[in-house]
Amino acid sequence: MSRKPTLAVVGATGAVGTVMLQILSQHADIWGEIRLVASPRSAGRKLAVRGEEIEVLALSEEVFDGVDVAMFDVPDEVSAQWAPVAAAKGVVVVDNSAAFRMDPDVPLVVPEVNPHAARVRPRGIVANPNCTTLSMIVAVGALHAEFGLRELIVSSYQAVSGAGRDGVDTLRRQLKLVAGSELGTSPGDVRRAVGDDTGPFPEPVALNVVPWAGSLKDDGWSSEEMKVRDESRKILGLPGLRVAATCVRVPVVTTHSLTVHARFEDEVTVDRAREILATAPGVVLFDDPAAGEFPTPADVVGTDPTWVGRVRRSLDDPTALELFVCGDNLRKGAALNTAQIAELVAGEFTTG
C-alpha cells in the first residue's frame, strides 16, 4: 500500500512560496503533512494551504525531522547552508536556487524533458532551473527530441518579478511617476523623472527596456545569459551545444518571453514542428498571426504551460526554426516546476 509523504515548503512566505502553496491546493492531494518553513521573522504567521491554516515554523534542523521531501525557495546562500542539512536527515531536497544547478552530483530537472534524471541524486538534492531557461526549454526540448538540436540563439524579455518583489515595487513606483506625462520623448527625461529610484535595475524600467539582467560575468556576459547556456546544455544532455543569449528586462510584471533561433541536425518543416509543439506536454501552440493570435505576457500570466507562437522556418537556413515563447516565471518558471519534481519524487515513497 502507498503512504502519503511529508512535505516541507521552505521559503513559504516569499513570492514563489506563495505560488507554491496555491499549486499544492490545486494539484492532486498526494501529500500527508505539509510543514511551512521560513525565516524566524516570519515564524508564527498562518498561511492557507489545502483549505487549512498552517502556522509557519522557523528554519532549523528540527523542522526536517520526519520530512520526506522539502521544496526550497530561498536565496542561494540559504539553500547552500540548509539543503545539505536537510539531505543529511534523509530528506529529498528540491531546490529552486542557483546554489546546486551546475553541481555534477545534482540533477537539473524539467519533468517534461528529463524526468529520469530526478532518480539519480547522489547528494539527495534535485535542482530546479532558472526561470528564463524554464520559459523556453519545454518547447525546445520537444523539438530537440525530434530534430536534434545543434545551436540556440535567444533573446529574453524578462519581467520585473524575476528580480523579486523589489523589482515589482520599483516598476509600480516608476509607472506612477511617469503616468499622464509626456515623458519618453526626449533623451534622459525618464531617467531624470525617476532619479535614483531604479531599484534592482541599472536604469529605469518604466517606458524603457534594459539590456541587462543578472550580475556581470567574464567578457561582458551576464549571469542570466550564462544560466541559459549552461542549464540548457545540462538539461538536454548536450555539453557542447552552442548557445548565445541576450537577456533584456522589460516593463512587464510577470511572465518572461523569448525569441528563439534553434538550429537542428536535419532539415525541418514548419508543419512537423507545429505538430510536435501542439502535442508536447506542457506546451500550448497559439500561432495564427493573420488573426492576431500569438502569445503575449498579458495573456499568459497566471497559466502553467509554455506558450509558443510565430513558428517559422529560417529564411536562410532550412535546418533552423524561429519561435516566440512565453512562460509565467513564477509558475512554470519557478514554483510549478519545483512542485512537479517533488511530485515525481513523492511517487517513490511506497510501502509494500
Cα(24)–Cα(309) distance, rounded to whole angstroms? Answer: 29
Q: Which of 27, 131, 144, 247 is catalytic?
A: 131
The β-bridge partners of 283 are 306
According to DSSP H, which parts of 218-333 are helical? 223-236, 270-279, 297-300
256 annotated active-site: yes
- Name every residue whose Cβ is closer than 8 Å to that of residue 182 and which is 6 or more positions away in sequence: none
**Angle in degrees, 0-180, between the axes of helices 15-26 and 336-346, rounded to the nearest 10:** 50
Cβ atoms 83, 72 nearer than 8 A: yes
Q: Which of 27, 116, 144, 256 is catalytic?
A: 256
Of the candidates 112, 102, 80, the one whose C-alpha atom is nearest the C-alpha of residue 93 is 80
Cα(28)–Cα(14) distance, rounded to whole angstroms? Answer: 23
Task: Name the residue with cell 549552461.
Answer: 230
Cβ atoms 331, 302 nearer than 8 A: yes
C-alpha cell at 220: 561582458
The 8-class DSSP code of residue 210 comes to: B
User: Would you list the DSSP string of 109-148?
Assistant: --TTT-GGGGG--TTSEEEPPPHHHHHHHHHHHHHHHHH-
C-alpha cell at 324: 516566440
Cβ atoms 274, 143 nearer than 8 A: no
71-95: b or e for each residue (b if 16 or more CB lie within 10 Å)?
bbbbeeebbeebbbebbebebbbbb
Cβ atoms 20, 12 nearer than 8 A: yes
Cα(7)–Cα(173) distance, rounded to whole angstroms? Answer: 37
Return the active site residues. 131, 256
